[in-house]
A and B are shown apart, each in its own frame.
Chain A
């Protein structure tokens, strides 16, 4: 299909960036938050307005500038990019609501700075989603790294600063140390960086070089937290919870996973990797992370830390989906970006709501919290089900396709990994719910009365929990997009 030229992708990227000056110069917090909402909603509508064209199979493109001969800052919206942009821009709206409740509830400092960098991060996220080539992707990937740094180190104390340093070390170390040379090597060999249906590397590099490049890309996108490049993620949990929720369950980490999927399909090409039998290596890397992260999660007492390790494991589901190199597996991986986002953001919102309402961070202190915060705990239960992959939640659908993918590639080991990981997920999530409902309540902390977090916190988490359930019954928008992408990759236009 011939792409349509439209400026919409650029507008979608700029929508949140353009609002930053208004945020800085607004003296009144209410007005400032109004600007954030305006940007979030405008951004979402621009993204949605592209959907009808994309769903017809017609991509949208827009070239900003050709900065090097043959290398341009260019946007190209396809089905996969749209899927990711829809998820992240929609969840930004909800997170903005939550941020207001959380930040004001805790009377946090430097809220203007917080909202500014949040907006910049979202620009970068959508920029990654719409990138037409490796160069543009790298540009926005780096922008995201630096825009999120002030958010991670928000608390400014010794712990936050050292986490910020660790965050930058891993993320920028990966991107400059591994991605940049990989990208330049690919450019040197192929003369292009544009993502193509079946990759650009085929016939231009020796099998050994392909293998090394692939490893450089998998680990270089350190935002995907593939082990051993994962240690930044638990450290980054010192950030305020909305940051953890949107950035470390949706935007940042999913940008990593998205980029890996994009590069595996658009630069390497599934045919090339299949012909070199690199799927085994990829699967082993991903499955090791899945199992190891789940085991580590079992041991964490801090709720956010447990969620962080769970995220590391779940991200590798997405990588595994790509690693299987089969149509169903890829659909599963892509869907998991959306499904996991809704589930995990709910869990983070709950963790934050508990902290705002009671000041408790550790799971061991949450016995009987269900009496005090029934809505929050119910939503936490739904979110857990989604992440474990049980019906009636969206997570089931993506896991279903992942399992189909393992069967398709006749890789029974991976099937075993997926199923045992589900059991492990249940093992680290369900005790929290059990303790919350049936544990002996601590009367000094949680009296009999129901006292939830502020409404600004509760409404978003109910919405995302409901979203998880709705996605089980109506996965169509995301499922269709994923199916179209995979069909395009494997069958051609």
Chain B
């Protein structure tokens, strides 16, 4: 059983998705339990894989028994085992946390919703485990297409936003495919390990360089790095909580993972980081993106919209961290994949609860929110502190590594951008906290008006608070995550 974990991670949600569709025809109430069981099984398998990796280093699985480089191989190492656990855990938690609001948002479409949900998770976990560059493209399309559909299910402008996303996403994926095509042209292989073995002889080739640049451009579009970010705010801001809690934490982070995989393990650092000028250029782009996204976030007056800009700024953190091209920076980037996914999940779940209870997320409608929903807002504050980067929440520690790496590399512009973004985040979040915390007093009698408590349903609150506690736990265990996993996920040549 356990030797089939890599395949099960794809097979279980794929077949459950079909089952959910069928079950949805007969009884809508079956959809959720099936999805829950399936994602729980996937999480179990991915944790099992992580354990295997921790004891045996690399797990290789040949689909259909075909040997590489001819067949498709799933390779799980330190880098992707931890991302895999992250993806499946976030998907499962979000599934549980948003059960009630999904029923409210899509009373007639439960079957399709959960089918898409599971297919989306299939796509993302596939991207993470696969060792085949073309297979990655296929899975990328699975996750993207289901993502478009999920976003399109939202209200008001959602279909239009989804269309915008379709255009940008397709362009991004096509770029990636084109890059892989070029690589196939010169190496004759699609297996990542195989390509990595062949490439060093071809590092001088212009085709390889073009392939690299095109691949990266495609990924930048997909991860919404500035200036390719325009699709993201609309797509995420109008989608319902059940969707955004899945897509927002995972999509950009998985794309960052793919970027790490390609730069570190397909092209190898000797090629990717060969030119210090290019590294600096990428760091500057990332820094610029962080600053611009932070400034744009300041101008928003709706909770979810401004969170999307924060998300775009965070992408810059990770891209910049990678191109610092030193151990601390890359550690920061990988750590931030984990931490950012966790805190994005937390903040969007909290925003979902707020939106559900007060029917609006415009800033002026958030008055007295702490009294109305104390637990959700407590979780919101923890997530906000984590995004600002206050110890001992996890966001502080990834920022720690990123800034350390930037200081080590002498990239003070990146240091400044990170600090600027932290400070802007303080302004952003405390603006909301101020509105929510200090409800207006009625007159001079110093008595707060009576606000009845209208907390979100128990299930939503408990999972949200659990995620918030998780942010602190992740922070406290940073040392273990870094020394036991991330340290080995970075190629040895990088110091």
Contact = CB atoms under 8 A, between A and B. Distances in A.
Interface string B90-131: 000000000000000000000000000000000000000000
B447 A188 contact: no
A177 B404 contact: no
Contacts of B475: 67
A160 B441 CA distance: 12
Interface string B379-395: 00000010011111000
B422 interface: yes
Contact of A68 (B390, B397, B423, B438): B397
B400 A68 contact: yes
Contacts of B23: none
A161 B476 contact: no
B200 interface: no
Contacts of A184: 400, 403-404, 407
Contacts of A150: 437
Contacts of A67: 391-392, 397, 475-479
Interface of B is mostly: helix
B419 interface: yes
Contact of B434 (A135, A138, A146, A165): A165
A153 to B, nearest CB: 6
A176 B448 CA distance: 34
Given A150-B437, A156-B438, A161-B434, A110 B448 contact: yes
Contacts of B430: 149, 165, 168
Contact of B438 (A138, A153, A181, A187): A153
Contacts of A161: 434, 438
B441 A146 contact: no
Contacts of A188: 404, 407-408
Interface in B396-410: 397, 400, 403-404, 407-408
A177 B425 CA distance: 12
Given A68-B400, A68-B482, A165-B434, A181 B446 contact: no
A83 to B, nearest CB: 25
A322 to B, nearest CB: 25
Contacts of A172: 423, 426
Contacts of A408: none
A177 B403 CA distance: 12
Main secondary structure of the interface of A (DSSP, over half): helix
B55 interface: no
A177 B419 contact: yes
A108 B400 contact: no
A185 interface: yes
B378 to A, nearest CB: 11
Contact of A139 (B392, B403, B407, B440): B392
B495 interface: no
A188 B411 CA distance: 14
Interface string A100-129: 000000111110000000000000000000
A109 B448 contact: yes
A142 interface: yes
A73 interface: yes
A180 B403 contact: yes
B348 to A, nearest CB: 22
A173 interface: yes
B298 to A, nearest CB: 14
B423 A176 contact: yes
Nearest to A187: B404
Contacts of A185: 407
B393 to A, nearest CB: 10
B415 interface: yes
B205 to A, nearest CB: 38
Contact of A138 (B391, B408, B448): B391
A62 B354 CA distance: 41
Residue of B408, B438, B477 most packed against chain A (CB within 10 A): B438
A68 B401 CA distance: 10
B483 interface: yes
A69 B404 CA distance: 13
Interface string B426-440: 100010001001111
Interface in A61-105: 65-69, 73
Given A164-B434, A180-B403, A184-B403, A73 B392 contact: yes
A108 to B, nearest CB: 6
A149 B397 CA distance: 24
Interface string A146-188: 1001100100110011001100100011001100110011011
A185 B392 CA distance: 20
Contacts of B408: 188
Given A168-B430, A181-B419, 7 more contacts: A65-B476, A68-B482, A138-B391, A149-B430, A173-B426, A176-B389, A184-B404
Interface of A: 65-69, 73, 106-110, 135, 138-139, 142-143, 146, 149-150, 153, 156-157, 160-161, 164-165, 168, 172-173, 176-177, 180-181, 184-185, 187-188
14 contacts: A67-B475, A69-B479, A69-B483, A73-B392, A138-B391, A146-B390, A156-B439, A160-B438, A161-B438, A165-B430, A165-B434, A180-B403, A180-B419, A181-B419
Interface of B: 385, 388-392, 397, 400, 403-404, 407-408, 415, 419, 422-423, 426, 430, 434, 437-441, 446-448, 475-479, 482-483
